Structure 1
Amino acid sequence: MIIDSHTHIDNRSSLGIGIEERNPAEFDDFKQCIEEKKLVVLANAACPAEFDELSKIGGIFTSFGIHPWSTHEFCHYSDESNSADYKQIQGHIQREVNAMEAYYKKAHAVGEIGMDSVWCTCDLTLQRELFMQQLNLAEKLGKPVILHTKGQEREIGEILRHYSVKKLVHWYSCEQYLENFIVQDCYFTVGPNYTINNAVKNIISSVPLGRILVETDGISAVEWAVGRKTKAADIPAMLRGAIEAIAGSKNISADFAEKSIEENFYRFLEI
């Protein structure tokens, strides 16, 4: 079975665009693909409304978490906010995360969570607080976590040492610090730019087969990575290409690699 281990179904919602503005055609295409059992997905929900919408798809697996890009919005923080207010804002983060515990509990995994100093300018002190509050809740609930690590790989690797939850590092694209995550027995997804990104190629060659998964990160991410229009029906074949690259690197058959990745997915989710 082909499994997309981390995706966003019309990920505009994770960029702060309301759920009512989602692309209904993309949602319906994914729904059909999943319910016809052409694809298994672990889809990210970045807010309660998105989680409820994704739950309408039969057979879907869901993760729930506040993305680091949404830190300022979640914290009601602006550039005019005074650093003296951090303690108050941090208390707000804890209360707001705990208020959504029911959604974290219903989800199969907590994520995508983490820190990012490359693709967003959200205050890193607040990102760290939001990340750790969600890790704390994942630990309490016994949920695995899905990690966004862009530009903050070293610090995140150190933070994770204090948590015993299962960890999936999504689309790791840094050429440093990989060993910090491997020694913690993390799982890793291979992103859609595996043919051109040396860091992603390194994931394929360096991570043990028992900890490798494949992902798209959603149609928008695929289109950004490969430079062409994509639809839900294209995803199984695209993921199969990543599986074949893994098989070639590990000197195993593509079918064996696919089966191993399927086993890894269900082991990560403890299903």
Structure 2
Amino acid sequence: MYTDSHAHITCDDLYTRIDEVIQNMHTLSHCMIMCTNIEELKRALKLKEKDSRFKVAFGWFPGDAKEIDASKLEQLKNIAYSHQIDCLGEIGLDYYWDTSFNDLQKELFIHQIEIANTAHLPISIHMRESTKDCLDILRQYAKTKIIFHCFSGTKETMKECLKMDSLISFAGPLTFKNARHAPECVQACPLDRLLTETDSPYLTPVPHRGKQNEPMYVKYVAQKVAELKGLPEEEVCTQIEKNFLSLF
């Protein structure tokens, strides 16, 4: 049985065929639904009521920092403190598209970490072209469990992340022929600190690259992890499930 630690299945692109997506998940034991707005969260909470395999995460995405005012932070606090969600995320920093509001992103990131600390919720981290600032903020403020989502950094960066007692999650790019750092990171990452994910509907793994991604394809990530580790797939999947459940 496979574990998908990060899937946007309530986004509009996938929710239009949600029944099919869930039917295709028969080989999964756990899946965390990532929500970036209130509508996605409402959909996810309804799915969780019906299916115990689901965990739900919600947070304000760094790219939306300009739109997040005090009322939206208060809304997140109420959701987190009332235990409606299992994880706060994905949150972090993204300097890839636009660096004109980096300071706003940092402020939002810190506010959300502090909410997670108080609510005793793990945090799922988005870290794109922002490694130093992201790690500096986490070292200073984070007092809860950390998942580095869709890790794409170097082995040296991963070692710094592991010092924070975090989990490192790998997605479809691990299976790509042009994968740069991910294979050596998987080999260097202790199995008890590793997660698998899809980031559905994005980053579809080989052999389905080019198609819309969904949780059932997480098996290809797990199989690649097992291959790189030189371990039986069942052993890898069992440990990844334990790692995922340790967050909650």
TM range (shorter): 0.7 to 0.9
1:146 and 1:24 map into 2 onto residues whose CA distance is 22
Give the whole-Å Cα distance in 2 for the aligned partners of 1:114 and 1:122. 16
1:69-94, CA deviations, whole angstroms, 9 ceiling, x for partnerless residues? 1112224xxxxxxxxxxxxxxxx3xx
- Which one of 74, 78, 92 corresponds to residue 114 of structure 1? 92
2:55 is the alignment partner of 1:61: yes
Matched, 1:218 2:165: no
* Residue 182 of structure 2 corresponds to residue 192 of structure 1: no
Q: 5+ residue gaps in structure 2?
A: none
The partner residue of 2:19 within 19, 28, 36 is 28
Does structure 1 residue 100 correspond to structure 2 residue 76?
Answer: yes
The secondary structure found in structure 2 opposite 1:42 is strand
Asked if structure 2 preserves the Cα contact closer than 8 Å seen for 1:10 and 1:219, the reply is no
Q: What displacement does 1:47 show?
A: 1.8
TM-score (norm 2): 0.86
SS of residue in 2 equivalent to 1:56:
helix
**DSSP 3-state at the match of 2:91:** strand
**How many residues were matched structurally?**
238
**Equivalent in 29, 35, 41 of residue 51 of structure 1:** 41
In 2, Cα distance between equivalents of 1:54 and 1:200? 30
CA 1:251/1:22 → structure 2, altered by over 3 Å: closer, same or farther?
closer
In the alignment, what sits opposite 1:40? Answer: 30
Partner Cα distance (1:180, 1:42) in 2 = 25
| CA separation of 1:214 and 1:109: change in aligned 2, threshold 3 A | same
More helix by share: 1
Instruction: Please list every run of 5 or more consecutive structure 1 residues that lacks an aligned counterpart in the other structure.
Output: 12-20, 76-91
Q: Name the structure where strand makes up a greater proportion of residues.
A: 2
RMSD across aligned C-alpha pairs, in angstroms?
2.4
Report percent identity of matched pairs. 22
**Counterparts of 2:117 and 2:184, CA distance in 1:** 29
One-letter identity of the residue aligned with 2:90: E
Q: TM-score, normalised by structure 1?
A: 0.79
Distance 1:40 1:113, change over 3 A: same
8 A contact 1:4–1:40 mirrored in 2: yes
Rate the CA distance shift 1:37–1:195 in 2: closer, same or farther, 3 A: closer
Matched, 1:207 2:210: no
> C-alpha distance in 2, partners of 1:208/1:68?
29
Output one character per residue of 1:180-228: Cα deviation in whole Å (capped at 9) or x when no partner: 1011121011110103322221321121100101011012332799642
Matched, 1:165 2:180: no
Structure ID, larger Rg: 1
Query: 2: distance between equivalents of 1:225 and 1:132?
Result: 38
